[in-house]
Amino acid sequence: MSLAEERRAARERALGLLYEAETKGVSGAEVLEALPVPAEPLTAQLVLAVDAHRAEIDALIERFAEGWTLGRMAALDRAALRMGTAELLARPEVPTGVVLAEAVELASRFGTDGSGRFVNGLLAAIAREVRGGEPTAREAEEAAEPEASLEPLVDALIIDLDGVIRHWDQSCYPAAEERLGLPPGAFVEVALDPDRLRRATDGRITFEDWCREIGEELAARHGCDPEAAATAWAETTWTIDLDVMDVVDAVREVVPVVLLSNASTRLIHDLDRSDILSSFDAVVGSADIRAAKPSPKAYLAAADAAGVAPERCLFVDDTMENVVGARAVGMQAERFTGLDDLRSLLRAQGLLR
C-alpha cells in the first residue's frame, strides 16, 4: 500500500470513529481508548483534533452553512465536515486541495448523492477563512458553489399540499362544534370519516356533495341544522407556509414544480383563493384524475404533467404511505419533516441554489 493509500485509509477510519462517537454520545478520545488495537497515528491525530477544536470547528461550520444548523445535517456529512475542518486547522503542512479532496471523496462514498457537493462547498469556504489566500485554479473550480455549477440530480419536483404547504386551522373545528351544539370531536369525526374522505378525494363525490353529506350526517346524529353544518365545513380556513412557497419559487428557477394533492373538486378554487395557483407549473388534484395517493395513477399523472419520467422526479409528502407509493413507481421520494430538512434535501439534489 502506498503512503497516499495509507493516509486515505486512516482518514476513512477516523471518519468511522467520529461517526461512532457521535452515535454513542461520547468523545473521540473515549472511542479511541475503547479500541482493542490502537488506531493508526493519523487516525488518532484527526479524531483528537476534532475533540480539541470542537467548539471552533462547529462554529465555523454553522457560520458557513447558510441558515441551517449542525443538528439538521446528516450525521455522516457532519462527521466529514468536522474531520476536514480539523485537518485544515491542525495539519497546516497538508495542502488545502488534498484536505478537501479526501473529505469530499469520503462523503461521496459513504453519504447521500449530494453529500460530496455539500461537504465540498462548505469546506472550501472554511478553508479560505482559516488558511487565508486564494485557492489554486483547480481548488477554485472545485470549491465554486456546487449548486451553481452542477446539474440537478432530478428533472422535476412533485410536492404535496396539505401538511407541507397548507395547514388547516384546527381551531375551526371546536368553534363549529360549539356553534352547532355538537359534542367535541363530532364535526371532524363525520367530515373526515375514511370512506367519505376517500370518495371526496378520488372524485366520486363533489366538494358540494361532501359538505351536504357532512351536514346531513351531523343532523341525523345530533339534531343540528344540516345546512349550517355543511356551511361550517365549507368555510373552514387554513394558512399557507410562505417560507415553503419561497422554496418552491426558487426550485422553479431550476426545474418544473408540480403540486400533487389528495384534494376535493374545490382544489383549484382553494389555490386561487390563497393566491398560489400560479406558483406551480402544473396542479394535479386527486378528485380531477379520479385517483388519490398512494395509487400509482396519481404519481404517474404528476410525472406526465411535469413532462418527466417518474425516475427523474423527486416527490415530497408529509405522509410516509404516500412516499412509499411514489417510490414504488420509481420516483425518488422523501417525507417532509420541516422546512430546514426540505432545504437540505433540495440542496443535495441540486435544486436549490
Distances from the Cα of 57 to the Cαs of 13, 81, 137, 145, 179, in angstroms? 20, 9, 26, 21, 57
Q: Report whether 58 contacts 122 (CB < 8 A).
A: no
Whether cis (ω within 30° of 0) applies to the bond prior to 294 is yes
Q: Can you read off the three cell numbers belonging to residue 130?
A: 482559516
Concatenating the DSSP letter of every residue in 289-342 gives HT--TTSHHHHHHHHHHHTS-GGGEEEEES-HHHHHHHHHTT-EEEE---HHHH
What integer pLDDT is reported at residue 68 of this predicted model?
Answer: 67
The torsion angles phi and psi of 141, rounded to 5 degrees, stand at: -65, -45
Where do the domains of the chain lie, and which CATH numbers do they carry?
3-148 (1.10.940.10), 156-165+239-348 (3.40.50.1000), 170-236 (no CATH)
CA 231-233-237 angle, to 5 degrees, is 110
What integer pLDDT is reported at residue 143 of this predicted model?
Answer: 43
DSSP state of 38: P
Question: How many other C-beta atoms lie within 10 A of the C-beta of residue 353?
Answer: 13
What integer pLDDT is reported at residue 149 of this predicted model?
Answer: 36
Q: What is the pLDDT along the chain (353 residues), one digit of tens a residue?
A: 567 778 889 999 999 999 999 889 999 999 999 999 999 999 999 999 999 999 999 999 999 887 667 888 888 999 999 999 999 999 988 888 888 989 999 998 888 877 888 898 899 899 989 887 544 434 444 443 333 334 688 999 999 999 999 999 988 889 899 999 999 999 989 999 999 999 999 999 999 999 999 999 999 999 999 999 999 999 999 999 999 999 999 999 999 999 999 999 999 999 999 999 999 999 999 999 999 999 999 999 999 999 999 999 999 999 999 999 999 999 989 899 888 888 888 887 888 86
Instruction: Put residue 206 in one of left, alpha, beta given phi > 0 → left and psi -120 to 50 → alpha.
Output: beta
pTM for the complete prediction? 0.59
